[in-house]
Amino acid sequence: MMLKFFFVLIPLAITSIVLFKEIEGSESTATNLKKPEFYENYGGDFSLTGPEGETISLEDFRNKVVLVYFGYTFCPDVCPITLSKLKLIMLDLGEKAEKVQVIFISIDPERDTYQKLKEYIPYFHPTFIGLTGTEADIAAVAKKYQTIYIKQKVESEAEYLMAHTDVVILVDQNGRYRGRYKSKFDLDKLSTDIRRLLGAGS
C-alpha cells in the first residue's frame, strides 16, 4: 500500500515543480523584457529538424523577433490555446508580424514527426514553424531555455501525456534570450515587449 502511495506522489511532485518553474517566469510589472545580461547563461543557438526534414537553426532568424514555445501536438488544451493566442498577437501586429517568427519545439518526438508538425502547426498561422529532433537534442535545447517536461502515463488511447513548463520565450533579433511569458497571464506583456524590440531594433 505504501509503495502504491509513493508512486502516486511522484507525478504530483513533478507537476508541482513544473508549475513552480512557470510561476517563476511571471512578474507583476508591466513588462517581462529583461536586458540581455539577465539571461546571459540561458538560451543560445540550436539546430533541430524542420517541416521538410531539413535542419533549421535559431540563427536562421537573425533580425527577427523569435517566440519559442515547447509543447506537443497531442496536448489536449494548453498548447493549442497558447498557439491560438500567439496567432492573435501576430494578427494584431499587422505588417510588423513579418519581423516575428513563432517556433514550436515538440517535447514528444516519439509521436511528433516533422511531417506531423508540418500538418499541425500551420493550422494556427501559416508562418508558424514546428521543430522536432532526437530526445537528446530536444532535452538539450529545453535545458538551455529553462523548460522542463515529463511523460505521464494515462489510461486512455493516448497512453501518455506530457506535463511541461507553459511559457513563451522571447528572443531578440540578435538571438538573445530576453523574457519569459506565462501563457495564462503574460501574453499582453508579450505583445507590448515584441513591439518594444521591433521599435528598438534589438
CATH at residue 75: 3.40.30.10
Please, are residues 129 and 109 in contact by the beta-carbon 8 Å criterion?
A: no
Closest CA to 100 of 5, 1, 191, 9: 191
Please, are residues 73 and 106 in contact by the beta-carbon 8 Å criterion?
A: yes
- Tell me: pLDDT of 121 over 90: yes
| Integer-rounded Cα radius of gyration of the chain | 17
Please, are residues 197 and 33 in contact by the beta-carbon 8 Å criterion?
A: yes
Give the tens place of pLDDT for each residue, 25-84: 444 578 889 999 999 999 999 999 999 999 999 999 999 999 999 999 999 899 999 999
How many domains in the chain? Answer: 1
Give the tens place of pLDDT for each residue, 124-164: 999 999 999 999 999 999 999 999 999 988 877 778 999 99
Binned at pLDDT 50, 70 and 90, residue 201 comes out as low
Beta bridge partner(s), residue 151: 162
Contact partners, residue 1, CB within 8 Å, separation at least 6 = none
Please, are residues 106 and 72 in contact by the beta-carbon 8 Å criterion?
A: yes
- The three cell numbers locating residue 20: 513552480
Residue at 52: amino acid letter = E
- Tell me: pLDDT of 10 over 80: no
Which domain covers residue 166, as residue numbers?
2-200
